[in-house]
Structure 1
Amino acid sequence: MKKTMIKSSLSLAVTLASTQLFASGFALNEQSISGMGTGFAGRSSSVDDASIVYGNPAGMSRLKRQQVTVGVAAIDAKTDISDASGSRAGTNKGDMVPFTAVPMGFYVNPVDDHWAFGLGVYAPYGLITDYESSFQGQNFGSKSIVKVVTFQPTISYAFNDKVSIGFGPTINRISGALESTLNVSGLTLPATGRPSGDGRIQVKGDDVGYGFNAGILVQATDSTSLGLTYHSKVTYKLDGHTEVRTGAGVPPQILGSGRYDAKLSLDTPESVDFSITQKLDDAWKVYAGATWTRWSRLQDITVRNSGVTRAGGVAAPALVGTITEEQNWHDTWAYAVGTSYQLNKQWVLRTGLTFDQSPTNNTDRSPRIPTGDRTIFSVGAGYSPTDDITIDVAYSYLDEETVKVNRTNALGQRYSSKYDNSANGFGLGLTYRF
């Protein structure tokens, strides 16, 4: 049996994309509830609260009071699967993304007129997908859980009232688990005949990687500010294990039942965010922004398995070795425009529109990453009952273009369908100044 026969079931990092997310690829945008209200159009140029630690660390020097910002974004996704066909029978309900919450927290302390210190804890990447047990395309992925949590200590320095810079190293922990099913019914294999049934494959891994965020903020005029933020790539070398379990009717040697040490190298991409905030008058502001992300770093996924635990007397199961899956992602651009209106001292209203490219392609797209280009409409509001407290709320609606999945593995098994994805996002944040 060739090792490539199960390669699509073992690639952990392929699980790092989902229709539940509000940014391209497997990135999350949910690091600011105030920014969510304008579609993140002014993410690097507008300083509203302590979440600027992520948006542009240079902006911390514009905050004149010590403050804490905390928040949570909840994501409710919907997927319609149609025109499905494949080698195995099954269902295509499409409800594979559970209701998901993404928390965040930031702190900023202005030390003096020039220096400021900040901390951030947030999730830059992540997903949960879980297809029904009878999913027709489960040979190409059934369940995925990935979490990335980032801790970012940050400093900023203001040269004067016009120009400030900021820098923050990031400490990032990634963990993930993948489950897939491999159906071997009807295969004719040497020494085993024609087995029937499924085998289940699970991959788990984790690692800590390091990167940095850096930014510059320029007050070009009294009413115009320009921001530029760079988020570095982060390299992970995940250590974990691959576990293979065979069902009834599948001899252990078919899949190489056992537990194996697994290693996977993965780079999350660097990105550059540029935005402009323009104050029109005492009430109105408009925002525009663009973000470039280097998703072309993800050309393939390679899992290396070793350390065989013998099962059923099998000394060299088929899973041992290097397994590669092509991805061939491309770089992406996201564009956003937004506006805010200061209704009175207590209330500010926000809205925004975002266009976000998908890094996937029609050839390599799979049920794990059934995503296309996105349009996102956002509204939000901020309420300040006192000078010390602001409560932010936001809502976003995401609509994706209809995309096709057409996959065939080395066993000749296939699955094809159309995916129509949409999602609702809800955000709630609180800023306290002291």
Structure 2
Amino acid sequence: MTRRVVKTCLSLALASAASHGFASGFAINEQSVSNMGTAFAGRSSSADDASTVFGNPAGMARIKREQVSGGIALIHAKTDIDNASGSNDGDMVPFIGAPMGYYVKPLDDNWSFGLGLYVPFGLVTDYERNFQGRYHGDRSEVRVITLQPTLSYRFNEHLSIGFGPTINRIDGELTSAINNPIPGAGDGKVEIKGDDTALGYNLGVLFEITPQTRFGLTYHSKVDYRLKGDTTVSGPGFVIGSSAGTYDASLELTTPESVDFSVTHELNADWTLYAGSTWTRWSRLEEIRADNKGVGGLLAGNLSSISEPQNWHDTWAHAVGAAYKLNRQWTLRAGLAVDQSPTNNTDRSPRIPTGDRTILSLGTAWSPNDDVTIDLAYSYLMEDDAHIERDDYSATYKNTAHGLGAQVTYRF
């Protein structure tokens, strides 16, 4: 048993799962279906509904009626794996959903209160049983659910600010195959589970130059987690070697801060234009380290403290979009986004086989009356080829994904 195999199995527990979300790394973008229709261009400046609690909390100042918004985004991903031998079907991302819900209430002419519940990071990878790269990653699942109470204050007709602490719950699960010390006994299995709750914050500024043009700037803070759970090693060879069993495990992980800047311009009564850029500090993910207590037997030296370099880099995402008001009830949207991958060719693994992305989005909003709006959106993602080069596994991944979102806003 080599240290390389075991360390690869364990150390990527929570940086692993979201290679097919609609944002880079293991972030996802789907916190608002109304923003999804423009490829999230104008996310920090549009403030069209209660989902601005996430997009820019200062945008609550533009909401004049108490309202709730809720919805879900569904993602279906497909991966083709080329230039590899063995079993490499690549259909490792199940059909998944990301729910969201928001509430905004104006308190007076200056103050507004909001509450948001959304998923900022997550997704799943789950390879087939005989996947050739199973020693580098088999099944990975990570979820972050965030609750954000928020206040905004409007200084005057031009300037508003907003702030909300975030309460973030993370849990993850990882399984990987490892070589069995008994020849012919089949693979062993390593499984890690862990969770934690940590605090962060969301801060935003909205500047309305004119009634038709506004700029938004939103800062989402980093969140430091120390996940605690257990590591389980199983397989007949590991029982004999006395390394099988369940051990206390801990893993430190920081989800990165990001800055979103965007502009919204109402060209006329029918057309609205959007543009925006998001910077994410993925360079915080230099390595993942897992610590396990009480490990004995043949693998004690390999399992006690494990780390693997990631060496991710900071990324930029850029988007442009437009909305056309067809009539009093219907609005049509479209958008285009490009998003850098934080990974590099040296350290990229089957758990995060992602490349730079291009995303095309279409959307619509139907308002049968002044109290209700139903938003629908569709996105198509295509990635540049992602190459993986490991000692015992190499392949080229070609990733695509379809996203479909629905959201309902009700005004009291």
Q: Is the 8 A contact 2:19 2:25 kept in 1?
A: no
Q: Is the 8 A contact 1:255 1:318 kept in 2?
A: no
Q: C-alpha distance in 2, partners of 1:429/1:371?
A: 28
| Partner of residue 229, structure 2 | 240
Shift of 1:319: 4.6
Task: Summarize the alignment of residues 11-410 of structure 1 with structure 2, pairs less than 5 Å apart.
Answer: 11-85=11-85, 90-184=86-180, 196-247=185-236, 250-252=237-239, 254=241, 256-308=243-295, 314=297, 317-408=300-391
**Partner of 1:22: helix, strand, or coil?**
coil
Q: Which amino acid in 2 is paired with 1:16?
A: S
Shift of 1:16: 3.3
Q: C-alpha distance in 1, partners of 2:287/2:241?
A: 26
Deviations, residues 278-326 of structure 1 (Å, cap 9, x unaligned): 1110000100000000000000000000034x7xxx4983454210111
| Partner of residue 422, structure 1 | 400
Shift of 1:56: 0.1
Q: C-alpha distance in 2, partners of 1:432/1:361?
A: 44
Shift of 1:223: 1.6
Deviations, residues 47-67 of structure 1 (Å, cap 9, x unaligned): 110000000000001100000
Q: Which amino acid in 2 is paired with 1:145?
A: E
Structure 1 residues 367 and 341: CA distance shift in structure 2, 3 A: same
TM-score for the superposition, normalised by structure 2: 0.97
Larger radius of gyration: 1
Shift of 1:246: 1.2
Shift of 1:198: 1.1
**Partner of 2:53: helix, strand, or coil?**
helix
Shift of 1:252: 2.8
Q: Which amino acid in 1 is paired with 2:399?
A: N
Q: What's the Cα RMSD here?
A: 1.6
Q: C-alpha distance in 2, partners of 1:91/1:4?
A: 22
Q: Which amino acid in 2 is paired with 1:260?
A: Y
TM-score for the superposition, normalised by structure 1: 0.92
**Partner of 2:300: helix, strand, or coil?**
coil
Gap regions ≥5 residues in structure 1: 186-191, 409-413
- How many residue pairs match? The answer is 412
Shift of 1:184: 3.7
**Partner of 1:398: helix, strand, or coil?**
strand
Deviations, residues 103-144 of structure 1 (Å, cap 9, x unaligned): 000000000110000000000000111111111110111101
Q: Is the 8 A contact 1:166 1:214 kept in 2?
A: yes
Q: Is the 8 A contact 1:18 1:371 kept in 2?
A: no
Shift of 1:423: 0.3
Deviations, residues 150-206 of structure 1 (Å, cap 9, x unaligned): 000000000011100000000000000000001247xxxxxx8x5652110000000
**Partner of 1:7: helix, strand, or coil?**
helix
My pick for the range that moved more, 122-131 or 317-326, is 317-326
Q: C-alpha distance in 1, partners of 2:241/2:318?
A: 49
Q: Which amino acid in 1 is paired with 2:200?
A: G
Q: Which amino acid in 2 is paired with 1:32?
A: S
**Partner of 1:169: helix, strand, or coil?**
strand
Structure 1 residues 36 and 358: CA distance shift in structure 2, 3 A: same
Shift of 1:14: 4.8
**Partner of 1:125: helix, strand, or coil?**
strand
Shift of 1:221: 1.9
Q: Is the 8 A contact 1:68 1:433 kept in 2?
A: yes
Q: Which amino acid in 1 is paired with 2:140?
A: S
**Partner of 1:152: helix, strand, or coil?**
strand
Q: C-alpha distance in 2, partners of 1:316/1:333?
A: 41
Q: Is the 8 A contact 1:253 1:317 kept in 2?
A: no
Q: Is the 8 A contact 1:255 1:319 kept in 2?
A: no
Q: Is the 8 A contact 2:13 2:192 kept in 1?
A: no
Gap regions ≥5 residues in structure 2: none
Q: Is the 8 A contact 2:14 2:142 kept in 1?
A: no
Q: C-alpha distance in 1, partners of 2:361/2:134?
A: 34
Deviations, residues 344-383 of structure 1 (Å, cap 9, x unaligned): 1101100000000000000011100000000000000000
Structure 1 residues 382 and 7: CA distance shift in structure 2, 3 A: same
Q: Which amino acid in 1 is paired with 2:65?
A: R
**Partner of 2:54: helix, strand, or coil?**
helix
Percent identity between matched residues is: 58
Shift of 1:251: 4.6
Structure 1 residues 5 and 97: CA distance shift in structure 2, 3 A: closer
**Partner of 2:84: helix, strand, or coil?**
strand
